Chain A
Amino acid sequence: MHEPQHHGRRRLPPFAVLAVVLLFAGAALVTGALHSQRHPPQPPASAATPLTTMSSPTVPAGTPPRHSPAVIGPVLARAVPVHLDIPEIEVNTDLLQLGLNPDHSVQVPPLSRHSEAGWYRYSPTPGQLGPSVILGHVDSAEYGPAVFFRLGALRPGHTLSITRADHTAAVFRIDRVVSYPKDHFPTLEVYGNTNTAALRLITCGGKFDLSTRNYESNIVAYASLISSHPA
């Protein structure tokens, strides 16, 4: 009785086969899961360097209103933006219109499977003089990477195009991409007056605070209008 069993186990040890199969399957799953981790790109410090010193967008301080600094670069008439294309990071989105929350923070687009960016409607329209603001999510808990997932991968010199309701396409060039801790968000630098037709693309970045369900930083891509053409 003992002999055949002994021989059988030597030729085909079932527990060993099971062990190897399970170990390989488990390792494959863990490896696969780790390899498919997707984290949004963050801008390096070098991306914060202005493309040219000419494009410094902030209006000099203390300037009396009657001596506003000369406008630099092209400027367009008011027209609401409807579509945004950023080929470099495969953004191709219609634009919502966003307002303010009761606490005076800026509204963000709804979290949905079809993630869209939105234009802050109390800011200038893209192409007008001043800082036009467009916001998009980096991700959502339910649907994963969102429309501005790769915003942090933009670099100075990259271009983007915004189609406006007047059937013009406004072409902007990225000046710099900066990550700010949310508790040190430089409101005036991002939302303050400019002497160019400026654009600020905003999403979340940095570490995610699990207790507040919020990212600790905002990534802001600063851009300036360089040209326009019929859409």
Chain B
Amino acid sequence: MKKPLLLLAPAAAIGLTLLGVPGTASAADSNSYQAQLNALNHASGSGSVMITLSGSQATVTEHFSGLAATFGGKPYPHVQHIHIGAMGQCPTNSADQNGDGVISTTEGAPSYGAIGTTLSTSGDTSPAAGTTLTVAPSGASTDYHRTITLDSKTLASLKAGTAVVVVHGLDPATLSKTAQGEKSDLVPSLPLAATSPALCGTLVASQMSSIPGGSAATGGGSTAGLQHEGWIELGAGLMLAGAAAGGLGLRRRSIAGN
């Protein structure tokens, strides 16, 4: 983001917009979607996701914070996906069918559906990478930025308003005694807490045709630091000269006095 201002405001591009030429930017044919991530399963934390489409290319920008920080002494891997093909909603507590106090990933599926795309940090983004802990963002918070290709099913769900971002991984200490002893419904070698949903948000079409990426370079800096440095330098110079003249005068006088 932090680039020299002049690079961020190419005169040519501005010129085009001044002439009112529509649709010259690549953004004109892209679409933006947004999701506010809210906590599930008594997890703390929140976040937001923005997706800008250009064809099937999706630029995903996500921020979340406040999730469980460590798992077995290591940064907690939070697997995350775009779930598709169901009601396009985040589950409520009534989805907890076995009454253990935790909405497992399976129990949430009638609301948000199956994994359509894995929001991995690198490599495979298919459902197959859904529980690969090594490519999950880890730690309590994350700033995720990746451009990936969405398959036709995820694209269709996104456009139908039934795509839901789910971030998984609960702090076991916040679970009931029963739930703490349970195995994951997805990966039996893991505890239930590790794969259960922690944050959830439905992707909705943005009211903007394209959401800009982050901050704006709206300052040139003339009023930021010390201004009128020239005056100050000249003034200081004059004062120095004055002091020198005074000193010289005194010296002459003392010489003359001798």
Q: Which residues of A contact B (CB under 8 A)?
A: 2, 5-6, 9, 13-16, 18-34, 36-40, 58-66, 96-111, 118, 120-124, 129-131, 133, 135-146, 148-149, 180, 182-183, 185-188, 191-194, 202-205, 207-210, 212-215, 218
Contact = CB atoms under 8 A, between A and B. Distances in A.
Given A105-B214, A108-B217, A208 B231 contact: no
Cβ-closest 8 pairs across A and B: A15-B249, A130-B207, A22-B242, A208-B224, A29-B235, A204-B219, A140-B220, A26-B239
A138 B245 contact: no
A131 B245 contact: no
B130 interface: no
Contacts of A19: 242-246, 249
Interface string B12-32: 011011101000111110000
B211 A187 contact: yes
A62 B83 CA distance: 13
A214 B213 contact: no
Contact of A23 (B25, B226, B232, B239): B239
Interface in B187-209: 200-202, 204-209
B204 A193 contact: yes
18 contacts: A13-B253, A15-B246, A15-B249, A29-B232, A33-B227, A102-B26, A104-B212, A106-B212, A108-B8, A108-B217, A108-B218, A111-B9, A130-B208, A137-B219, A182-B1, A182-B215, A214-B219, A214-B221
Given A148-B218, A208-B225, A61 B38 contact: yes
Nearest to A30: B235
B61 A187 contact: yes
B152 interface: no
Describe A's contact surface by its main secondary structure.
mixed
A63 B202 contact: yes
A65 B202 contact: yes
Contacts of B245: 15, 18-19, 22
Contacts of B38: 61-62
A80 B170 CA distance: 47
A107 B237 CA distance: 43
A98 B8 CA distance: 12
Contact of B48 (A64, A192, A205): A192
Contact of A185 (B214, B231, B252, B253): B214
Interface of B: 1-6, 8-11, 13-14, 16-18, 20, 24-28, 34-38, 46, 48, 50, 52, 59, 61, 87-90, 161, 200-202, 204-229, 231-232, 234-246, 248-250, 252-253, 256
Nearest to A214: B2
A146 B213 contact: no
A204 B217 contact: yes
Contacts of B5: 108, 111, 213-214
B25 A61 contact: no
Given A19-B245, A108-B217, A214-B217, A183 B1 contact: yes
Nearest to B48: A188
Contacts of A40: 223
A104 B52 contact: yes
A23 B242 contact: yes
Nearest to A141: B220
Contact of B207 (A16, A131, A136, A213): A131
Given A26-B238, A62-B200, A207-B224, A122 B207 contact: no
A146 to B, nearest CB: 7
A143 B237 CA distance: 26
Contacts of B231: 29-30, 32-33
Nearest to B238: A26
A27 B235 contact: yes
Given A29-B234, A96-B18, A144 B256 contact: no
A142 B87 contact: no
A130 B204 CA distance: 13
A191 B211 contact: yes
